[in-house]
């Protein structure tokens, strides 16, 4: 199936990144959000990010103008119905996502592929509530979308090969790399990454190391570009905790038990960079460890 028009639901952090890369790759993009503010802000952010790419010589001014011209924003969800592929990137709440698919269904073409960018909700369960579980799958981008090379493609139990191949072709056209994952909690990246971050927090909690020694150890001793606590602050400690809870609940194994210290930071509202405090305090010139 040839994909030309891509509908994106949700114009937040991920939605605007997805619209950015899709429009630069030549796809016609229809972007919607319940918040008109979010739509206006998304266009501004994309313009700023593309201008930076022009500045660095990565794309030309003409590429940028053409890409921005391929993006149409609309507050009306059903305007996306005639898209070849829909990527849902709205708030991470199952009832929100389910309602979006329900509202879209009467307006879809029979061949439209539905996908979700969810980090943690079961693709099979979302698919089962649509009229096309065989044309439904997970299309999981990493943040920030224009920078990160990987896309996880997740098959639900009913996803057919034609749907998978069509999504794989889109990832290829973006110049990104797809990893195929089965539909189990955390897929591949979060299944491996989050327990490592959680273990780093346990290491801190038990006093085996402090913030500096833990992050330096993993940077210099394991060649990680960022320490696990620094990375946790970047992702958001609330997001890390939510994903650990999904692994713990979904796999029912105590090895995924969220560290009580992680819970404590979230309770304090110390969520990392976005609140200027997490394992580091970002309010000054340079980040200062909080433990």
Considering the complex, what minimum distance in angstroms separates the CB of residue 99 from ligand NAD? 6
Annotated active-site residue 20? The verdict is no
> Which of 80, 203 has the CB closer to ligand NAD?
80
Residue with smaller CB distance to ligand NAD, 73 or 118: 118
Catalytic residue among 20, 92, 140, 198: 140
What is the pairing mode between strands 280-281 and 288-289? antiparallel
Closest separation in Å from C-beta 96 to ligand NAD: 5
Considering only CA atoms, which of 7, 127, 121 is closest in space to residue 71? 7
Is-catalytic flag, 119?
Answer: yes
When the beta carbons of 5 and 117 are compared against ligand NAD, the nearer one is 117
Q: Which is nearer to ligand NAD, 235 or 259 (CB)?
A: 235
Min CB(120)–ligand NAD separation in Å: 6
Residue 189 CA: distances (Å) to CA of 7, 74, 148: 25, 32, 13
Find the shortest distance in angstroms from Cβ 223 to ligand NAD.
Answer: 23
Q: Which residues of 218-245 are buried (b: 16+ CB within 10 A; e: fewer)?
A: beeeeeeeebbbbbbbebbbbbbbbbbb
Closest residue (Cβ) to ligand NAD? 12
Catalytic-labelled residue, pool 119, 120, 122, 198: 119
CA 171 to chain centre: 15
CB of 212 to ligand NAD, least distance (A): 25
Q: Which of 23, 117, 122, 152 is catalytic?
A: 152
The residue among 220 and 226 lying less far from ligand NAD, judged by its C-beta, is 226
The yes-or-no answer on residue 212 being catalytic is no
Contacting residues toward ligand NAD, per CB under 6 A = 9-15, 32-35, 38, 77, 89-92, 96, 100, 117-119, 141, 143
List the catalytic residues. Answer: 119, 140, 152, 190
């Amino acid at each position: 199936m040839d994909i030309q028009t891509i509908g994106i639901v949700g114009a937040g952090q991920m939605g605007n990144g997805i619209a950015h890369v899709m429009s630069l790759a030549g796809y016609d993009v229809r972007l919607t959000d319940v918040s008109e503010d979010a739509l206006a802000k998304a266009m501004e952010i994309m313009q700023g990010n593309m201008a930076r790419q022009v500045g660095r010589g990565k794309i030309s001014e003409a590429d940028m103008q053409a890409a921005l011209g391929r993006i149409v924003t609309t507050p009306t969800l059903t305007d996306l119905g005639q898209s070849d592929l829909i990527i849902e990137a709205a708030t991470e709440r199952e009832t929100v996502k389910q309602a979006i698919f329900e509202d879209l269904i009467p307006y879809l073409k029979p061949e439209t592929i539905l996908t979700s960018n969810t980090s943690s909700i079961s693709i099979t369960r979302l698919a089962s509530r649509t009229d096309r579980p065989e044309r439904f799958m997970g299309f999981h981008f990493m943040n920030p979308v224009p920078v990160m090379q990987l896309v996880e493609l997740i098959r639900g139990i009913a996803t057919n090969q034609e749907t998978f191949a069509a999504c794989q072709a889109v990832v290829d056209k973006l110049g990104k790399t797809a990893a195929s994952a089965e539909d189990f909690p955390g897929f591949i990246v979060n299944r491996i990454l989050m327990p490592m971050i959680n273990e780093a927090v346990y290491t801190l909690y038990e006093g085996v190391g402090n913030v500096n020694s833990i992050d330096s150890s993993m940077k210099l001793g394991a060649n990680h570009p960022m320490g696990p606590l620094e990375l946790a602050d970047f992702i958001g400690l609330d997001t890390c905790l939510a994903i650990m809870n999904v692994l713990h609940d979904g796999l029912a194994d105590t090895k995924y038990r969220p560290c009580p210290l992680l819970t404590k930071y979230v309770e304090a509202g110390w969520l990392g960079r976005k609140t200027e405090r997490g394992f580091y305090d970002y309010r000054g010139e340079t980040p200062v460890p909080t433990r």
